Structure 1
Amino acid sequence: MSAAGPTEAAAAEPAAARRPRWGVLVLAGLIGLGMVRQGLSGEADGPPQPAAGGVLFPGDLPPTGPAPPPLPRSVPSRVAIASIGVSAPLMPLGLDGHGWIEAPPAGEPGLAGWYADAPTPGENGTAVLVGHVDSAAGPAVFYGLGALEKGRTIRVTRKDGRTAVFEVYGIQVFDKHKFPARKVYGTTGRPELRLLTCGGAYAAGSGYAGNVVVFARMTGAA
Protein backbone atom coordinates (compact mmCIF):
# COMPACT_ATOMS: atom_id res chain seq x y z
CA MET A 1 0.00 0.00 0.00
CA SER A 2 1.35 3.42 -0.88
CA ALA A 3 1.32 6.25 1.61
CA ALA A 4 0.44 9.87 1.19
CA GLY A 5 3.03 12.53 1.94
CA PRO A 6 2.53 15.60 4.13
CA THR A 7 0.18 18.27 2.88
CA GLU A 8 1.46 21.68 1.83
CA ALA A 9 -0.25 23.18 4.86
CA ALA A 10 1.59 20.81 7.17
CA ALA A 11 4.88 21.60 5.51
CA ALA A 12 4.29 25.31 6.14
CA GLU A 13 3.74 24.86 9.87
CA PRO A 14 6.67 25.35 12.26
CA ALA A 15 8.15 22.02 13.37
CA ALA A 16 7.08 22.45 16.99
CA ALA A 17 3.45 22.87 15.93
CA ARG A 18 3.22 20.00 13.45
CA ARG A 19 1.40 16.83 14.39
CA PRO A 20 1.24 13.65 12.31
CA ARG A 21 -1.81 12.72 10.27
CA TRP A 22 -2.02 9.10 11.34
CA GLY A 23 -4.37 8.21 8.52
CA VAL A 24 -1.31 7.65 6.33
CA LEU A 25 0.91 4.61 6.81
CA VAL A 26 4.18 6.49 6.70
CA LEU A 27 5.75 4.65 9.63
CA ALA A 28 4.68 1.24 8.43
CA GLY A 29 6.44 2.13 5.21
CA LEU A 30 9.64 3.01 7.02
CA ILE A 31 10.03 -0.36 8.64
CA GLY A 32 8.98 -2.33 5.58
CA LEU A 33 11.22 -0.46 3.15
CA GLY A 34 14.04 0.83 5.30
CA MET A 35 14.88 -2.43 7.04
CA VAL A 36 13.70 -5.19 4.77
CA ARG A 37 17.12 -5.63 3.18
CA GLN A 38 18.94 -5.88 6.51
CA GLY A 39 17.71 -9.34 7.55
CA LEU A 40 20.14 -11.84 9.03
CA SER A 41 19.37 -14.67 6.66
CA GLY A 42 22.12 -16.73 8.25
CA GLU A 43 20.55 -16.60 11.72
CA ALA A 44 18.68 -19.81 12.48
CA ASP A 45 16.34 -18.34 15.06
CA GLY A 46 16.30 -14.66 14.22
CA PRO A 47 15.37 -11.89 16.66
CA PRO A 48 13.02 -12.67 19.58
CA GLN A 49 9.31 -12.34 18.87
CA PRO A 50 6.53 -11.21 21.24
CA ALA A 51 4.70 -13.98 23.08
CA ALA A 52 1.37 -15.10 21.64
CA GLY A 53 -1.80 -13.57 23.05
CA GLY A 54 -1.94 -10.18 21.40
CA VAL A 55 -2.27 -6.77 23.01
CA LEU A 56 -5.11 -4.46 23.91
CA PHE A 57 -5.10 -1.23 21.97
CA PRO A 58 -5.00 2.04 23.93
CA GLY A 59 -8.68 2.80 23.37
CA ASP A 60 -9.63 -0.64 24.64
CA LEU A 61 -7.68 -0.43 27.90
CA PRO A 62 -9.41 0.20 31.24
CA PRO A 63 -8.61 3.46 33.08
CA THR A 64 -5.28 3.34 34.87
CA GLY A 65 -5.67 6.38 37.07
CA PRO A 66 -4.72 9.97 36.35
CA ALA A 67 -1.92 10.55 33.86
CA PRO A 68 1.20 12.37 35.05
CA PRO A 69 1.46 15.98 33.89
CA PRO A 70 2.84 16.13 30.34
CA LEU A 71 6.21 17.71 29.73
CA PRO A 72 6.84 20.60 27.34
CA ARG A 73 8.31 19.83 23.94
CA SER A 74 12.01 18.97 24.05
CA VAL A 75 14.20 17.04 21.64
CA PRO A 76 14.97 13.50 22.87
CA SER A 77 18.64 12.51 22.92
CA ARG A 78 18.81 8.93 24.22
CA VAL A 79 16.63 5.87 24.86
CA ALA A 80 17.43 3.28 27.55
CA ILE A 81 15.70 -0.07 28.11
CA ALA A 82 17.64 -1.82 30.86
CA SER A 83 15.73 -5.11 30.62
CA ILE A 84 17.00 -5.78 27.08
CA GLY A 85 20.33 -3.97 27.32
CA VAL A 86 19.49 -0.94 25.15
CA SER A 87 21.18 2.42 25.63
CA ALA A 88 21.23 4.28 22.35
CA PRO A 89 21.50 7.83 21.00
CA LEU A 90 18.57 9.21 19.05
CA MET A 91 18.54 11.14 15.78
CA PRO A 92 15.62 13.08 14.28
CA LEU A 93 13.85 11.48 11.31
CA GLY A 94 11.65 13.17 8.72
CA LEU A 95 9.99 12.16 5.47
CA ASP A 96 11.80 11.24 2.29
CA GLY A 97 10.84 12.39 -1.20
CA HIS A 98 8.17 9.70 -1.46
CA GLY A 99 6.45 10.69 1.80
CA TRP A 100 7.86 7.78 3.83
CA ILE A 101 9.58 8.12 7.16
CA GLU A 102 13.34 8.00 6.80
CA ALA A 103 15.18 5.11 8.44
CA PRO A 104 18.23 5.59 10.66
CA PRO A 105 21.43 5.07 8.65
CA ALA A 106 21.95 1.37 7.91
CA GLY A 107 25.67 1.79 8.57
CA GLU A 108 25.03 2.80 12.20
CA PRO A 109 23.13 -0.17 13.69
CA GLY A 110 23.48 1.15 17.25
CA LEU A 111 21.56 4.35 16.45
CA ALA A 112 17.79 4.79 16.88
CA GLY A 113 15.57 7.57 15.58
CA TRP A 114 12.53 9.62 16.60
CA TYR A 115 9.88 10.94 14.25
CA ALA A 116 10.40 14.69 14.53
CA ASP A 117 6.92 15.74 13.38
CA ALA A 118 5.22 13.78 16.16
CA PRO A 119 5.10 14.80 19.84
CA THR A 120 8.43 14.44 21.62
CA PRO A 121 8.57 11.79 24.37
CA GLY A 122 6.82 13.20 27.42
CA GLU A 123 4.59 15.60 25.50
CA ASN A 124 0.88 14.92 25.42
CA GLY A 125 0.27 12.61 22.48
CA THR A 126 2.04 9.65 20.90
CA ALA A 127 5.81 9.84 20.40
CA VAL A 128 7.46 7.35 18.05
CA LEU A 129 10.95 5.79 18.13
CA VAL A 130 12.26 3.44 15.43
CA GLY A 131 15.39 1.36 15.03
CA HIS A 132 16.84 -1.43 12.92
CA VAL A 133 16.46 -5.00 14.17
CA ASP A 134 19.65 -6.19 12.47
CA SER A 135 22.25 -5.38 9.87
CA ALA A 136 24.58 -7.25 7.57
CA ALA A 137 27.05 -7.38 10.48
CA GLY A 138 24.68 -8.73 13.14
CA PRO A 139 22.03 -7.61 15.66
CA ALA A 140 21.15 -3.90 15.68
CA VAL A 141 19.79 -1.55 18.32
CA PHE A 142 16.23 -2.97 18.56
CA TYR A 143 17.12 -6.64 18.02
CA GLY A 144 15.75 -7.56 21.45
CA LEU A 145 12.57 -5.48 21.24
CA GLY A 146 10.36 -8.53 20.78
CA ALA A 147 11.51 -9.88 24.14
CA LEU A 148 10.09 -6.92 26.08
CA GLU A 149 7.38 -7.77 28.61
CA LYS A 150 4.52 -5.78 30.05
CA GLY A 151 5.57 -3.70 33.04
CA ARG A 152 9.11 -3.07 31.82
CA THR A 153 10.51 0.46 31.87
CA ILE A 154 11.68 2.65 28.99
CA ARG A 155 13.55 5.87 29.78
CA VAL A 156 14.00 8.67 27.25
CA THR A 157 16.50 11.42 28.05
CA ARG A 158 15.65 14.85 26.65
CA LYS A 159 17.70 17.93 25.76
CA ASP A 160 16.04 19.91 28.58
CA GLY A 161 17.67 17.61 31.13
CA ARG A 162 14.45 15.76 31.98
CA THR A 163 13.94 12.01 31.54
CA ALA A 164 10.49 10.76 30.53
CA VAL A 165 9.77 7.37 32.09
CA PHE A 166 7.38 4.96 30.34
CA GLU A 167 5.91 1.58 31.27
CA VAL A 168 5.27 -1.08 28.61
CA TYR A 169 1.65 -2.21 28.52
CA GLY A 170 1.58 -4.16 25.27
CA ILE A 171 3.64 -5.56 22.42
CA GLN A 172 2.59 -7.18 19.18
CA VAL A 173 3.71 -8.04 15.65
CA PHE A 174 1.54 -6.63 12.85
CA ASP A 175 1.59 -7.72 9.23
CA LYS A 176 3.18 -4.81 7.37
CA HIS A 177 0.44 -4.98 4.71
CA LYS A 178 -2.34 -4.75 7.32
CA PHE A 179 -0.78 -2.24 9.66
CA PRO A 180 -3.44 -0.57 11.91
CA ALA A 181 -1.90 2.91 11.80
CA ARG A 182 -4.75 4.80 13.46
CA LYS A 183 -4.90 2.34 16.33
CA VAL A 184 -1.14 2.28 16.84
CA TYR A 185 -0.37 6.00 16.54
CA GLY A 186 -3.64 7.63 17.59
CA THR A 187 -3.69 9.84 20.66
CA THR A 188 -5.00 8.50 23.97
CA GLY A 189 -5.20 11.91 25.65
CA ARG A 190 -1.99 11.35 27.61
CA PRO A 191 1.77 11.03 26.91
CA GLU A 192 2.43 7.73 25.12
CA LEU A 193 5.36 6.09 23.36
CA ARG A 194 5.64 3.59 20.51
CA LEU A 195 8.80 1.69 19.59
CA LEU A 196 9.01 -0.03 16.21
CA THR A 197 11.28 -2.44 14.42
CA CYS A 198 11.00 -5.36 11.98
CA GLY A 199 9.55 -8.68 13.08
CA GLY A 200 7.64 -11.76 12.11
CA ALA A 201 8.80 -14.32 9.57
CA TYR A 202 11.88 -13.58 7.48
CA ALA A 203 12.36 -14.62 3.87
CA ALA A 204 15.38 -13.96 1.68
CA GLY A 205 14.43 -11.46 -1.00
CA SER A 206 11.36 -10.09 0.76
CA GLY A 207 12.65 -9.50 4.30
CA TYR A 208 10.55 -9.44 7.45
CA ALA A 209 6.80 -9.88 7.09
CA GLY A 210 5.78 -7.58 9.93
CA ASN A 211 6.53 -4.83 12.41
CA VAL A 212 7.10 -5.31 16.14
CA VAL A 213 5.27 -2.51 17.97
CA VAL A 214 5.78 -1.74 21.68
CA PHE A 215 3.05 0.25 23.44
CA ALA A 216 4.08 2.28 26.50
CA ARG A 217 2.64 5.15 28.51
CA MET A 218 4.39 7.74 30.65
CA THR A 219 4.37 7.07 34.37
CA GLY A 220 6.53 9.95 35.50
CA ALA A 221 9.58 12.11 34.82
CA ALA A 222 12.94 12.56 36.46
Structure 2
Amino acid sequence: MGLIRAWAWKAALIVVATPLVLGLLYNLVQPVSTLMLARWVSGQPVVREWRPIADISPALVRSVLASEDARFCTHIGIDLVELQQVLDDSDGLDASRGASTITMQLAKNLFLWNGRSYVRKALEMPLALYLNVVMSKRRQLEIYLNIAEWGPDGEFGAEAAAQAAFGRGADRLSARQAALLAVTLPNPHHRRPGKPGPGLSRLAGNLQARLPREGPELTACLGLDR
Protein backbone atom coordinates (compact mmCIF):
# COMPACT_ATOMS: atom_id res chain seq x y z
CA MET A 1 0.00 0.00 0.00
CA GLY A 2 2.84 2.36 0.81
CA LEU A 3 4.45 1.71 -2.58
CA ILE A 4 1.16 2.36 -4.37
CA ARG A 5 0.70 5.61 -2.46
CA ALA A 6 4.25 6.71 -3.34
CA TRP A 7 3.66 6.00 -7.04
CA ALA A 8 0.34 7.83 -6.88
CA TRP A 9 2.05 10.92 -5.47
CA LYS A 10 4.72 10.76 -8.18
CA ALA A 11 2.09 10.44 -10.88
CA ALA A 12 0.16 13.38 -9.44
CA LEU A 13 3.33 15.47 -9.32
CA ILE A 14 4.06 14.71 -12.98
CA VAL A 15 0.50 15.61 -13.98
CA VAL A 16 0.75 18.96 -12.17
CA ALA A 17 4.31 19.76 -13.23
CA THR A 18 3.92 18.94 -16.93
CA PRO A 19 1.72 21.92 -17.93
CA LEU A 20 3.73 24.23 -15.68
CA VAL A 21 6.97 23.29 -17.42
CA LEU A 22 5.40 23.27 -20.88
CA GLY A 23 3.87 26.70 -20.28
CA LEU A 24 7.39 28.09 -19.94
CA LEU A 25 8.81 26.00 -22.79
CA TYR A 26 6.11 27.16 -25.18
CA ASN A 27 7.59 30.64 -25.07
CA LEU A 28 10.47 29.19 -27.08
CA VAL A 29 9.05 26.42 -29.28
CA GLN A 30 6.10 26.01 -31.63
CA PRO A 31 3.56 23.91 -29.69
CA VAL A 32 0.85 21.64 -30.99
CA SER A 33 -2.58 21.14 -29.46
CA THR A 34 -3.91 18.04 -27.75
CA LEU A 35 -6.46 17.74 -30.56
CA MET A 36 -3.69 17.78 -33.16
CA LEU A 37 -1.91 15.03 -31.22
CA ALA A 38 -5.12 13.00 -31.02
CA ARG A 39 -5.60 13.24 -34.78
CA TRP A 40 -2.02 12.14 -35.43
CA VAL A 41 -2.41 9.16 -33.09
CA SER A 42 -5.66 8.12 -34.80
CA GLY A 43 -4.18 8.50 -38.29
CA GLN A 44 -6.25 11.54 -39.26
CA PRO A 45 -4.70 14.37 -41.27
CA VAL A 46 -3.33 17.53 -39.65
CA VAL A 47 -2.61 20.61 -41.75
CA ARG A 48 -0.72 23.39 -39.99
CA GLU A 49 1.93 25.87 -41.11
CA TRP A 50 3.23 28.10 -38.33
CA ARG A 51 3.02 31.83 -38.96
CA PRO A 52 4.55 34.46 -36.64
CA ILE A 53 1.91 36.93 -35.58
CA ALA A 54 3.72 39.68 -37.50
CA ASP A 55 3.05 37.67 -40.68
CA ILE A 56 -0.68 37.31 -40.04
CA SER A 57 -3.07 39.87 -41.45
CA PRO A 58 -3.82 42.62 -38.91
CA ALA A 59 -7.44 42.35 -40.05
CA LEU A 60 -7.54 38.74 -38.84
CA VAL A 61 -5.86 39.60 -35.54
CA ARG A 62 -8.42 42.34 -34.84
CA SER A 63 -11.34 40.23 -36.05
CA VAL A 64 -10.44 37.28 -33.84
CA LEU A 65 -10.00 39.50 -30.80
CA ALA A 66 -13.27 41.34 -31.39
CA SER A 67 -15.14 38.10 -31.98
CA GLU A 68 -13.60 35.89 -29.30
CA ASP A 69 -12.22 38.12 -26.53
CA ALA A 70 -12.51 41.90 -26.81
CA ARG A 71 -10.92 42.46 -23.38
CA PHE A 72 -7.96 40.19 -24.12
CA CYS A 73 -5.42 42.96 -23.56
CA THR A 74 -6.76 43.92 -20.15
CA HIS A 75 -7.92 40.75 -18.39
CA ILE A 76 -5.81 38.38 -16.27
CA GLY A 77 -6.46 35.27 -18.32
CA ILE A 78 -10.01 35.15 -16.99
CA ASP A 79 -12.36 37.98 -17.92
CA LEU A 80 -13.96 38.77 -14.57
CA VAL A 81 -16.26 41.38 -16.11
CA GLU A 82 -17.64 38.97 -18.68
CA LEU A 83 -17.84 36.17 -16.14
CA GLN A 84 -19.94 38.28 -13.79
CA GLN A 85 -22.24 39.36 -16.62
CA VAL A 86 -22.80 35.78 -17.71
CA LEU A 87 -23.32 34.61 -14.13
CA ASP A 88 -26.04 37.22 -13.76
CA ASP A 89 -27.87 35.69 -16.74
CA SER A 90 -27.08 32.01 -16.26
CA ASP A 91 -25.48 29.57 -13.87
CA GLY A 92 -23.11 26.63 -13.64
CA LEU A 93 -21.35 25.24 -16.70
CA ASP A 94 -23.13 27.46 -19.22
CA ALA A 95 -21.85 30.54 -17.39
CA SER A 96 -18.20 29.48 -17.41
CA ARG A 97 -18.49 28.45 -21.04
CA GLY A 98 -19.97 31.79 -22.08
CA ALA A 99 -17.17 33.72 -20.36
CA SER A 100 -14.34 31.80 -22.02
CA THR A 101 -11.33 33.91 -22.99
CA ILE A 102 -8.65 33.29 -25.61
CA THR A 103 -6.25 32.45 -22.77
CA MET A 104 -8.72 29.88 -21.42
CA GLN A 105 -9.17 28.42 -24.90
CA LEU A 106 -5.40 28.32 -25.24
CA ALA A 107 -5.07 26.41 -21.95
CA LYS A 108 -7.70 23.93 -23.16
CA ASN A 109 -6.08 23.48 -26.56
CA LEU A 110 -2.58 23.01 -25.15
CA PHE A 111 -3.26 20.83 -22.12
CA LEU A 112 -6.86 19.59 -21.91
CA TRP A 113 -9.61 18.09 -24.04
CA ASN A 114 -12.71 19.18 -25.92
CA GLY A 115 -16.19 18.72 -24.56
CA ARG A 116 -18.13 20.27 -21.72
CA SER A 117 -17.41 19.15 -18.19
CA TYR A 118 -16.98 20.70 -14.77
CA VAL A 119 -13.65 18.91 -14.37
CA ARG A 120 -12.21 20.49 -17.49
CA LYS A 121 -13.41 23.95 -16.48
CA ALA A 122 -11.96 23.52 -13.01
CA LEU A 123 -8.57 22.83 -14.61
CA GLU A 124 -8.86 25.38 -17.41
CA MET A 125 -9.20 28.48 -15.26
CA PRO A 126 -6.07 28.10 -13.09
CA LEU A 127 -4.09 27.08 -16.17
CA ALA A 128 -5.26 30.26 -17.91
CA LEU A 129 -4.16 32.35 -14.93
CA TYR A 130 -0.77 30.64 -15.03
CA LEU A 131 -0.29 31.14 -18.77
CA ASN A 132 -1.12 34.81 -18.37
CA VAL A 133 1.71 35.12 -15.84
CA VAL A 134 4.43 33.22 -17.72
CA MET A 135 3.53 34.18 -21.29
CA SER A 136 3.10 37.58 -22.92
CA LYS A 137 -0.24 38.49 -24.47
CA ARG A 138 1.41 38.62 -27.87
CA ARG A 139 2.77 35.09 -27.49
CA GLN A 140 -0.56 33.80 -26.20
CA LEU A 141 -2.37 35.10 -29.25
CA GLU A 142 0.37 33.97 -31.63
CA ILE A 143 0.09 30.41 -30.35
CA TYR A 144 -3.70 30.50 -30.38
CA LEU A 145 -3.79 31.68 -34.00
CA ASN A 146 -1.50 28.78 -34.94
CA ILE A 147 -3.21 25.93 -33.08
CA ALA A 148 -6.92 26.78 -33.19
CA GLU A 149 -9.00 24.25 -35.10
CA TRP A 150 -10.30 26.03 -38.17
CA GLY A 151 -11.82 23.39 -40.41
CA PRO A 152 -13.40 19.93 -40.58
CA ASP A 153 -10.48 18.19 -42.26
CA GLY A 154 -7.66 18.84 -39.83
CA GLU A 155 -6.97 22.48 -40.66
CA PHE A 156 -5.26 24.12 -37.72
CA GLY A 157 -4.04 27.69 -37.52
CA ALA A 158 -4.61 30.80 -39.57
CA GLU A 159 -2.41 29.83 -42.52
CA ALA A 160 -4.12 26.50 -43.13
CA ALA A 161 -7.52 28.16 -42.69
CA ALA A 162 -6.75 30.96 -45.14
CA GLN A 163 -5.36 28.58 -47.75
CA ALA A 164 -8.28 26.15 -47.45
CA ALA A 165 -10.99 28.83 -47.57
CA PHE A 166 -9.55 31.43 -49.92
CA GLY A 167 -6.42 29.99 -51.55
CA ARG A 168 -4.18 32.70 -50.11
CA GLY A 169 -1.82 33.19 -47.21
CA ALA A 170 -2.88 34.44 -43.79
CA ASP A 171 -0.90 37.64 -44.46
CA ARG A 172 -3.04 38.53 -47.52
CA LEU A 173 -6.55 38.33 -46.13
CA SER A 174 -9.05 41.09 -46.79
CA ALA A 175 -11.17 42.52 -44.00
CA ARG A 176 -14.17 40.49 -45.18
CA GLN A 177 -12.19 37.25 -45.37
CA ALA A 178 -10.73 37.88 -41.92
CA ALA A 179 -14.20 38.42 -40.46
CA LEU A 180 -15.48 35.21 -42.05
CA LEU A 181 -12.59 33.22 -40.58
CA ALA A 182 -13.07 34.77 -37.14
CA VAL A 183 -16.77 33.88 -36.91
CA THR A 184 -15.99 30.35 -38.10
CA LEU A 185 -13.93 29.57 -34.99
CA PRO A 186 -16.82 28.64 -32.66
CA ASN A 187 -18.01 25.92 -35.06
CA PRO A 188 -15.29 25.02 -37.60
CA HIS A 189 -16.84 21.66 -38.49
CA HIS A 190 -20.02 23.19 -39.88
CA ARG A 191 -19.19 26.75 -40.93
CA ARG A 192 -17.64 27.31 -44.36
CA PRO A 193 -15.88 30.68 -44.64
CA GLY A 194 -14.97 30.04 -48.28
CA LYS A 195 -18.62 29.43 -49.18
CA PRO A 196 -20.57 31.25 -46.48
CA GLY A 197 -24.29 30.87 -46.16
CA PRO A 198 -26.61 33.72 -45.17
CA GLY A 199 -26.13 33.10 -41.46
CA LEU A 200 -22.33 33.14 -41.55
CA SER A 201 -22.36 36.17 -43.87
CA ARG A 202 -24.57 38.00 -41.40
CA LEU A 203 -22.27 37.16 -38.49
CA ALA A 204 -19.26 38.38 -40.45
CA GLY A 205 -21.05 41.57 -41.44
CA ASN A 206 -22.03 42.29 -37.84
CA LEU A 207 -18.43 41.74 -36.76
CA GLN A 208 -17.11 44.11 -39.43
CA ALA A 209 -19.60 46.75 -38.34
CA ARG A 210 -18.45 46.44 -34.72
CA LEU A 211 -14.72 46.64 -35.39
CA PRO A 212 -14.43 50.43 -35.81
CA ARG A 213 -16.13 50.90 -32.43
CA GLU A 214 -13.81 48.50 -30.58
CA GLY A 215 -10.92 50.99 -30.77
CA PRO A 216 -7.14 50.60 -30.54
CA GLU A 217 -7.37 48.91 -27.13
CA LEU A 218 -8.12 45.65 -28.95
CA THR A 219 -4.47 45.26 -29.95
CA ALA A 220 -2.75 47.65 -27.51
CA CYS A 221 -0.88 44.84 -25.74
CA LEU A 222 0.49 43.18 -28.87
CA GLY A 223 3.19 45.59 -29.98
CA LEU A 224 2.09 45.40 -33.61
CA ASP A 225 2.96 48.39 -35.77
CA ARG A 226 0.65 47.54 -38.64
Shared fold, TM over 0.5: no
Structure with bigger gyration radius: 2
TM-score, L = length of structure 2: 0.28
The structure richer in strand per residue is 1
The structure richer in helix per residue is 2
